[in-house]
Amino acid sequence: MLTVRFTKLSNTHHRFAYTRANRTGQDLELATRNFLLHDLIHFAVESEGRFKNSFYGLLARGETYESLGDADITDEAHPGAPEILMTERIVGAFTALAKGEAEPAQVIAGVQNLLDAFEEPMPSWLTIDFAERVAEKLRRLQGEWKATPFGAAMELEFEAD
């Protein structure tokens, strides 16, 4: 289990804190414009997909926030490389969905085009239904964040097992 807390500090910054099951973790102040939506999309995609080797699963197993930004994370020698590489591609595509600029079917078609360009197969779980579930989870997360007062935290649980 990984507990994640997003604390609203100001209009421009938030605190991202996580605690692993063994009570270790990290606490960072981040620029909301650059990180919040991306981190929420990761949470929605990874929790709906029950991913274990992507951002939140790797944090739960001991990686740090900074280490997950390193290029080494997608190196084939890294145990989470295939999944996290696919997750990053999907999260990028789902950004348009989160911003209300695309519908689930458009996002899936975009991912299909991207994977075709890399001559990679489309994962069987990456369906319009999956995209609709992610969109709904994102809608709830974004609503909860908007309702979070300054100084308060939105707390999420990620099943890492």
**What is 110-124 written as a DSSP string?**
HHHHHHHHTT-PPPT
Per-residue model confidence (pLDDT) at position 77: 57
Residue 129 belongs to domain spanning = 2-158
Nearest to 44 by CA among 149, 144, 151: 144
Per-residue model confidence (pLDDT) at position 84: 82
Total domains in the chain come to 1
pLDDT in tens, 121-135: 999 999 999 999 999
Q: What is the mean pLDDT of the chain?
A: 90
Counting residues of the chain whose pLDDT is more than 70, the rounded percentage is: 92
pLDDT in tens, 69-113: 765 555 555 555 678 888 888 898 999 999 999 999 999 999 999
The percent helix, strand, coil of the chain (3-state, each to 5) is 50, 15, 30
Tell me the three state secondary structure of residue 43: helix
pLDDT in tens, 33-68: 999 999 999 999 999 999 988 899 999 999 888 888
CA dihedral 153, 10, 100, 87 (to 10 degrees): -60
pLDDT for residue 156 is more than 60? yes
